Structure 1
Amino acid sequence: MTSQKPAPVRFNPFNADFRHDPYPVYRRLRETRPVHRTMGMWVLTRHAEVRQVLLDRTFGAGLIPELIDRQAGRLTQHNIATIQQLARKSLVFTDNPDHARLRGLVNRVFTARAAAGLRPLVAETAEELVQRAWADSGMDAIADLAAPLPSTVMSRWMNLPDDLREHVTQWTHDIRFLLEPGLMNNADFAHVCDVVQEFADRLGALVTERRSRPGDDLVSQLLAAETGGGDRLSDAEIVFVCMMCFVAGNETTKSLIGNGLLALLRHPEQDALLRDDPGHIPGAVAEALRYDSPLQQTKRVATRAVEVGGELIEQGDQVLLCLGAANRDPAMFDRPDEFDITRGVRSHLAFGHGMHGCLGGLLAELQTEVAFECLYRRPESLRLGSDQLEWQDQSFIVRGLKRLPVTVG
C-alpha cells in the first residue's frame, strides 16, 4: 500500500491558525513553494527573492491608489478625492520620480541625528506611562505603553494642540484601512473618507499657522526643508507626510514593542540576560524585528517581465513579499526560529529595503529601546499575566497583539 503524499501547504492569511502563528506555514512554503502563484498574486517567502524584489526599482509600490479606486468603484463611493490625493502623495505608495523628490525633501528632517535628539522626549513619555503601570502592579503592555507611546511622541514632536491631539489615536486607527483597501466595506469606506477629510483639514490649518509662526516642531521643520534647487514641500504634501507618520508609524511601533516584550517573556533566559545587562537592549530590538516582524507583508507590482526564483513574473502581476518569512530563512539566519538577543542581526527586512525602506525605522527602534530601558532597568521583574493571547485581526499585513497583560513581581 503506497502512502499518500501530504497535501501541498496553502498560503491563507485569513486562517485563524495562521493569524496565531504564521511561521510553520512560512517554513513549509520556503521549503516547497518559495515562489508560487495564489489568490491572484505571487507569494515570495525566501530572503533572497524578497530582497531581490525590494531592491528592483522596476517593481512599483504604487498599487494602493489603484486598489482604492477599484474598491471605490465596487462600493459606489464618490467622495474619495482626498484619500486619492493622500495615496498619490505619500512616500509609502509613490514611485520615481515623485518618490525621489519627496524622499529627498523629507529625508532632510527624518535624519539619524533628529531621531537621536528625540530620545529625551521619548524617555520622558515612556517613563510617565510605565510609572502609572508600576503603581498598579501591572499593565496591559499594549494599551498602557505600546499604543500610547508612539502616538504621544509624534503628537509632541508636531506640537499638536490639545483639541487635535485627543482625536489622533482614533483617526489613525480608522485610517489604517487605506493600507488594505480590499478589507473595506461600504460603511468603512465612507467613514475613512470622512476621517481623512477632517484630519487633513485640521492639519492644513496647523500648517498654515506654523507657516506664519514657525517653531522647532516637525511641521515647522518640514516647512523649512529645501533642496539645493529651491524645491520645497507644498502645504498639502506636508499634511500627508504628517498624516502618514501616524498611520504608518503607530501600528508598527506598537506591534514591535508588544511582539518584542512577548518574545522576551516567553524566553526566560533571554529575559534574565537583558535584566542583568541592559546593554543588550539594541540587540533585543533588532532580534525582535527579525523574529516576529510587525510588518509581515508588503506588496509590489511588476512593471516588466522578470524572473524571480526560477518563475517568470509578467508585467502587471502583483507580488506579495512575506517579510516575516524572509526573516526566518535558514539560508540567511542560523537557528532562525530561536530568539537570541545576542545574535547581532543586521540583515533583517522588517523595515523593507532599498528606496522604500521605512522612513521612520530609526524612530521605531529608538522608542522600543527606550520602552525596554524603562522596563528592564527597574529591579522588579515582569511576568505574563495570561497565556491566552489574542492577535489583532483588523490587518493582514501587520502582526501585533490586541492585549498583553503583564504583572510586576
Structure 2
Amino acid sequence: MTDTWPDIAPAAGTPACGPPSFAPERGWWVTRHADVRTALTDPAFRVPVVDSGPPGTLAWLRASVSRFSSPPRHAERRSMVVTALAALDPDELRQEAARLTVAVLDRAGDRVDVMRELARSVPLRVLAGRLGIADPVAAGTAVAVVAAAYHPGVDVAVLRRADRAVATLLAVVPPAAPEVRANLIGLLVQACDATAGLIGAAAHHLLPLPGGDPSGAGRTAELLTEVLRLDPPVRATRRVTVSAVRLGGRDLPAGSQVLLRFDAANRDPTVFAEPAALRPGRPGAALLTFGAGERGCPGDRHALALATGVLDVLRERCRRIEAPLCHEPHPTLSVAKTLEVSVR
C-alpha cells in the first residue's frame, strides 16, 4: 500500500481566502479561517430566525430544534440532543454500520451505488435504531423527505410531502415532550445529508479505480477528518449580524446577511501547511466543518463513527468506477447524486 495521497482540488465554486467581501445579490462572504471562527463564536452573529407553524408540521419542527433556536432557547434544546447522544457508544455505531454495509455488499452483485444503497440509508438506520425509533427503515425514508425540505426556499409540493413525513416520524419516535421528540427528529435530519455527503466524498477520493493501486495507507477515521477539511459536505452556514460589527478589517452593518464558507476556511494557507494535500493525522482542532463555539455540532464523533464503519468496508472490498461526479443542487451542502463502485 502507498502512504501518499494526491492533492484534492477545491470543488467548483469554492472561493479563495481573503477579507470579508460583499455583493448586493448575495450579502457578505467570509472565507478566512480566523474570520469564520470569530463569526461562529461572536454573539453579534446569530443564526437566522425561522417561522413556526402548526404542531407536527415541518415549520414547527424547524422552529423547535436547537439548530434554528434563538439564544434564550438554544442551550435547553441543545441539551436534549446532547443527552440523546450521550447514550450512544460511537464504537458500537461504527461496528453496526460496518455490519450493515457488509450485508448490502454481499447481496449487491458486482456493482453498487454507494449513495443510494449505503450513504443515505446505513447511517440513518443505525442511528434511528439506537435512538429507539420503532421502525428505523421507515424513519430513514421519512427523514430523507424532511431533509430535502429542511432549508428555506423549496416549493409548496415539497413542503407538503415534508409535512407528511414529519407526521410519519412523530408516529415512530419514542414518547416524550414535544420539543424532545422534535430534537430527536432534528438529530436524524442533521445526520442525513451531511453524513451521506461525507461518505460519498470519501469514497470518491479514497477508493482506487479498477486496476489501480490499493487504497493508500492510513486509518479511515483520520482520512475522513481530512476529507471533511478538503471536501466538506457542509460547505457553508448562514448568520445574520444583530449589531454593527467589525470583522477581518471590514465593517458589517446590523442586519447583514453573512455566509461563512467552511470550504474556503479549511484551505486557509495561514493555518494549514500544504492546504490541498490530504495528510492524515493533522491536528484536528483547526477543522471548522463541524462549526465552533456553543453551536458546534454535538454529534461529530458519532457522525465520524458511522462514516468510518461504512468506509472501512468499502476500502477493503470496493473499487471506484470512473464516472463524472454530479452533486445534488443545494446552496450550502455537497452531496453526490450517485457513485458506483465495483464489489469484490
Tell me which residue corresponds to 2:307. Answer: 368
Q: Within the alignment, does 1:402 sit opposite 2:344 as a pair?
A: no
Normalising by the residue count of structure 2, what TM-score does the alignment of the two structures yield?
A: 0.87
Q: 1:157 and 2:157 equivalent?
A: no
Counterpart residue number, 1:125: 100
2:143 is equivalent to residue 172 of structure 1: yes
1:377-388 → structure 2 map (5 Å cutoff): 378=316, 380=317, 382-388=318-324
Q: Which has the higher helix share?
A: 1
Give aligned pairs, total. 334
CA distance in 2, matches of 1:43, 1:148: 33
Give, in whole Å, the separation in 1 of the partners of 2:214 and 2:252: 42
CA contact (8 A) 1:79 1:193 kept: no
256-265 or 95-104: bigger deviation: 95-104
- 2: distance between equivalents of 1:190 and 1:109? 28
- The answer for the alignment partner of 2:229 in structure 1 is 290
Segments of structure 1 that go 5 or more residues without pairing to the other structure are 1-20, 70-77, 209-222, 224-234, 275-279
SS at match of 2:215: helix
Aligned to 2:3: none
Match of 2:174 in 1: 207
Instruction: State the alpha-carbon separation in 1 of the partners of residues 260 and 213 from structure 2.
Output: 32
Match of 1:271 in 2: 215
The C-alpha deviation readout for 1:108-133, integer Å capped at 9, x for no partner, is: 33239633443443333233233334
Q: Aligned letter for 1:384?
A: R
Q: Partners in 2 of 1:105 and 1:189 — Cα distance?
A: 26
2:90 & 2:320 partners in 1: Cα distance?
31
SS of the aligned residue for 1:43 comes to strand
Please identify, of 250-259 and 169-178, the stretch whose mean Cα deviation from structure 2 is larger. 169-178
Pick aligned residue for 1:142 from 115, 118, 121: 115
Shift of 1:100: 1.1
Q: Structure 1: which amino acid aligns with 2:133? A: L
Distance 1:343 1:129 in 2: 32
Query: Structure 1 vs Structure 2: percent identity of aligned residues?
Result: 25
Aligned 8 A contact 1:58 1:304 in 2: yes
Runs of 4+ in 1 over 6 A off after TM superposition: 78-81, 266-270
Equivalent position SS for 2:332: coil
> Deviation at 1:84?
3.2
* Higher RCO, Cα 8 Å, sep 6+: 2
Q: Is the 8 A contact 2:101 2:122 kept in 1?
A: yes
Alpha-carbon displacement from aligned partner over 1:83-108 (angstroms, at most 9, x marks no partner): 33312220111132211122234323
* Aligned positions of 1:233-312 closer than 5 A: 235-265=177-207, 271-274=215-218, 280-312=219-251
Give 1:350 shift: 0.9
Q: For 1:113 and 1:181, how far apart are their aligned partners in 2?
A: 31
Aligned-residue CA RMSD (Å): 2.7
In structure 2, the residue corresponding to 1:358 is in which secondary structure? coil
Residues 20, 28 of structure 2: 8 Å contact kept:
no
Shift of 1:185: 1.8
Mapped partners of 2:167, 2:336: distance in 1: 29
How far residue 190 of structure 1 moved from its aligned partner, in angstroms, is: 2.9
The DSSP-based 3-state class of the residue aligned with 2:127 is helix
Q: TM-score, normalised by structure 1?
A: 0.74
| Corresponding position of 1:86 | 61
SS in 2 for 1:189: helix
Aligned counterparts of 1:246 and 1:156: Cα–Cα separation in 2 = 11
How far did 1:51 drift? 0.7
Q: Residue 97 of structure 1 aligns with which residue? A: 72
Q: Which residue of 2 aligns with 1:42?
A: 28
Deviation digits for residues 181-216 of structure 1 (CA, Å, limit 9, x no counterpart):
12x12322333333324433x14xx533xxxxxxxx
Query: What is the rounded CA distance, in whole Å, between the counterparts of 2:117 and 2:204 in structure 1?
Result: 15
Shift in alpha-carbon separation, 1:266–1:82, aligned structure 2, 3 A: same
Determine if contact 2:81/2:184 at 8 Å carries over to the other structure: no
